[in-house]
C-alpha cells in the first residue's frame, strides 16, 4: 500500500504543484499590497519554493535591461536573485568584486556543474565547460597557437579573402541596386565562414558575393544547437528541459537532431585531417584543427570539443560586436567622420601588427563593447564560503555573476555621461592610466583572452 502511494506521488505532484504555485502567487500578491510602502517595489518578489522565478521568467526577453535597472537603484551595485528551491544568485557590478572573482580568487569560482550540464551536449569538454587543470591546459594550448606568426598570417589571409571575395562585392551590389538587407545576418555569415576556415580549414560558404544568400546545413544546425542550448538557462526549473531531453520531445528533440548534424560534420573533418596526417606525416594547412593534430593531440572527441568551442567563442561574439559598432556609427556621425579620417591617414592595407595602431577605431570598439558587450553577464559558482571585497558573504555553491552590461551603464564607474557613445573616453589620461582596468570588464576580458586580436 505504501509502495503504491509512492508510485503515484510524482503524478499527484504534477497536478497539484501548478495549483499550489497559483495559490502562492495570488496570496503573496494580496499580502504584498498590504505591506508597508517602505519595501522597495522594484525588487523582485520572492515566493516559497520558486523564489523570484515568476518575475525572472516574465523579464527573460529583456533580462539584461531589467536587471540593470534594479542594480542602478541598488546602493552597493549588487542584485540578489532567488532561484527555485532556495538557490540564490548574486549579480555584481563592483569592479573590485569582479577582479576578485576573475583573478584574485579565480580557482574559488569555477563555472560549476550547473553551467556544465546546460552546455555539455553542445560543447563537451571544451574550454567553456572546463574547470581547473583541464581549463588551464586548454588555455595554455590555445595561447601558444594564437601567438605563432604562421597562424596570424593564416588568419590575415582567410579574412582578406572573405572580405575581398565575398563581403565587399556583396556590399557593392547592395549599394548599386539599393538593396535593403539585414546587416546582422550578413555579418554572422561573414564571421561564421572565417571562424570555420580558421578552426577546421573548412569553408561552409554561408556568405555569397551576391543576393540571395545561400542555405548551409552546418550553419543552420549550429545556430539551432546554440539557440536551444542557451534557452535551457531560461527554464524556470531545469527539471523541465531535462524531462524533455529524457523523453526526446519538443525543443530537446530539435537540439538532439541539430547536434547530430554538427557533430557529424565536425567528426568527419577531424577524421579527414587525421588521414591526411597519416599519409603525409605532416599537414600543410595552418587551421587550428591541423595544428592540434600535428602537435600530438589525437583524441577525436577532445579535439572536436575544443574546435567547436572556438567556433562558439568567435561566431556570435564577433558578429554582435560588429553589428552594434556599425549601428552606433550610423547614429553618431561625428565618430564616423573621425574613423574615416584615421583610415585615410593609414596605408591602404594594414597587416596584423599595424592594426593595433588605429587607436581611434580601437577606442570606438571598446566603447561599443562597454555599451553592448557580446556577453552581457556570466556566472561562476563558489567552491567554499567566501567574502567579496565589498563585504558581501557568499556561501558554498552559490552563483556569483559579474555583469558587464550593467557595469557599462553605471554612473559610479563611467560618470554621468555613461549613456553617450564617446570613444574619446578611452583615450583620456585618467582612463588609460587607471589602475583598475576591471571597470570595463567586457573590454578587459576581450583584451586578455587567447585570440584577442583576430576579431
Q: Rounded CA gap, 428 and 217, in Å?
A: 47
Q: Rounded CA gap, 450 and 440, in Å?
A: 18
DSSP single-letter state for residue 202: -
pLDDT for 439 equals 64
Q: Are 170 and 183 in contact (CB under 8 A)?
A: no
The set of residues, in sequence order, having a beta carbon less than 8 Å from that of 192 and lying 6+ positions away, is 204, 206, 207, 219, 222, 311, 315, 319
Three-class SS state of 403: coil
What are the structural domain ranges in the chain?
1-38, 40-109+332-422, 114-322
The set of residues, in sequence order, having a beta carbon less than 8 Å from that of 201 and lying 6+ positions away, is 269, 273, 285, 287, 289, 290
| CB half-sphere exposure, 45, CA atoms < 13 A | 17
pLDDT for 12 equals 37
Show the cell assigned to 180.
535593403
Q: Are 166 and 205 in contact (CB under 8 A)?
A: no
Show the cell assigned to 57.
521568467
Q: Which CA distances in Å does 296 have to 136, 269, 278, 291, 303?
A: 18, 17, 12, 9, 11
Show the cell assigned to 313.
567563442
Three-class SS state of 283: coil
Residue whose C-alpha cell reads 520572492 in the numeric block:
46
pLDDT for 283 equals 62
Q: Are 224 and 255 in contact (CB under 8 A)?
A: yes
What fold is seen in the domain 114-322?
Cytochrome p450 (1.10.630)
Q: Are 51 and 81 in contact (CB under 8 A)?
A: yes
Q: Rounded CA gap, 157 and 165, in Å?
A: 12
Nearest to 151 by CA among 358, 447, 362, 450: 450
pLDDT in tens, 197-207: 998 889 999 99
Q: Rounded CA gap, 160 and 158, in Å?
A: 6
Chain centroid, CA 341 distance in Å = 32
**Omega before 249 cis (within 30°)?**
no
User: Helices (DSSP H) in 285-299: which residue ranges?
Assistant: 288-294
Q: Rounded CA gap, 186 and 209, in Å?
A: 11
Q: Are 289 and 201 in contact (CB under 8 A)?
A: yes
pLDDT for 296 equals 77
pLDDT for 345 equals 87
pLDDT for 440 equals 59
**Could you write out the DSSP letters of every residue in 408-441?**
TT-HHHH-TTTTS--GGGGTSHHHHT-S-GGGGH
| CB half-sphere exposure, 77, CA atoms < 13 A | 25
The set of residues, in sequence order, having a beta carbon less than 8 Å from that of 386 and lying 6+ positions away, is 105, 108, 109, 393, 394
Positions of the chain with pLDDT lower than 70, given as ranges: 1-42, 281-284, 348-349, 352, 429-455
pLDDT in tens, 76-118: 999 999 988 888 999 999 999 999 999 999 999 999 888 999 9
Amino acid at each position: 500500500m505504501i509502495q503504491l502511494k509512492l508510485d503515484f506521488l510524482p503524478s499527484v505532484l504534477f497536478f497539484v504543484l501548478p495549483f499550489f504555485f497559483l495559490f502562492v502567487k495570488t496570496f503573496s500578491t494580496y499580502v504584498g499590497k498590504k505591506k508597508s510602502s517602505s519595501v522597495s517595489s522594484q525588487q523582485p518578489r520572492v515566493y516559497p519554493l520558486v523564489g523570484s522565478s515568476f518575475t525572472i521568467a516574465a523579464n527573460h526577453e529583456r533580462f539584461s535591461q531589467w536587471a540593470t535597472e534594479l542594480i542602478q537603484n541598488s546602493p552597493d551595485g549588487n542584485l540578489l536573485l532567488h532561484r527555485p528551491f532556495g538557490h540564490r544568485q548574486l549579480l555584481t557590478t563592483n569592479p573590485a568584486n569582479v577582479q576578485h572573482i576573475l583573478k584574485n580568487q579565480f580557482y574559488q569560482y569555477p563555472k560549476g556543474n550547473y553551467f556544465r550540464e546546460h552546455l555539455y551536449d553542445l560543447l563537451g569538454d571544451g574550454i567553456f565547460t572546463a574547470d581547473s587543470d583541464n581549463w588551464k591546459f586548454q588555455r595554455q594550448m590555445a595561447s601558444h597557437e594564437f601567438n605563432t606568426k604562421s597562424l596570424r598570417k593564416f588568419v590575415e589571409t582567410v579574412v582578406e579573402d572573405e572580405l575581398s571575395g565575398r563581403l565587399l562585392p556583396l556590399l557593392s551590389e547592395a549599394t548599386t541596386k539599393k538593396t535593403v538587407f539585414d546587416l546582422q545576418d550578413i555579418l554572422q555569415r561573414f564571421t561564421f565562414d572565417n571562424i570555420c576556415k580558421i578552426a577546421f580549414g573548412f569553408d561552409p560558404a554561408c556568405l555569397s558575393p551576391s543576393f540571395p544568400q545561400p542555405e548551409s546545413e552546418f550553419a543552420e544546425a549550429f545556430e539551432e544547437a546554440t539557440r536551444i542550448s542557451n534557452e535551457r538557462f531560461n527554464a524556470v526549473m531545469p527539471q523541465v528541459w531535462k524531462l524533455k531531453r529524457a523523453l526526446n520531445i519538443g525543443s530537446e528533440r530539435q537540439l538532439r537532431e541539430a547536434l547530430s548534424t554538427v557533430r557529424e560534420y565536425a567528426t568527419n573533418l577531424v577524421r579527414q585531417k587525421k588521414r591526411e596526417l597519416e599519409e603525409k606525416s605532416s599537414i600543410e594547412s595552418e587551421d587550428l584543427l591541423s595544428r592540434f593534430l600535428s602537435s600530438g593531440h589525437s583524441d577525436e572527441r577532445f579535439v572536436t570539443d575544443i574546435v567547436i568551442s572556438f567556433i562558439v567563442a568567435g561566431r556570435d561574439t564577433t558578429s554582435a560586436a560588429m553589428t552594434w559598432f556599425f549601428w552606433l556609427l550610423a547614429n553618431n556621425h561625428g565618430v564616423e567622420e573621425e574613423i574615416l579620417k584615421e583610415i585615410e591617414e593609414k596605408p591602404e592595407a594594414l597587416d596584423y601588427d599595424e592594426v593595433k595602431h588605429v587607436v581611434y577605431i580601437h577606442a570606438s570598439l571598446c566603447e561599443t563593447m562597454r555599451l553592448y558587450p557580446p556577453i552581457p553577464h556570466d556566472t561562476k559558482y563558489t567552491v567554499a564560503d567566501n567574502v567579496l571585497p565589498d563585504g558581501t558573504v557568499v556561501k558554498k555553491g552559490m552563483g556569483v555573476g559579474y555583469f558587464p552590461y550593467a557595469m557599462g551603464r553605471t554612473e559610479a564607474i563611467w560618470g554621468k555621461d555613461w549613456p553617450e557613445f564617446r570613444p574619446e573616453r578611452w583615450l583620456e589620461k585618467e582612463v588609460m592610466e587607471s589602475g583598475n582596468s576591471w571597470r570595463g570588464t567586457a573590454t578587459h576580458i576581450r583584451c586578455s583572452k587567447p585570440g584577442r586580436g583576430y576579431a
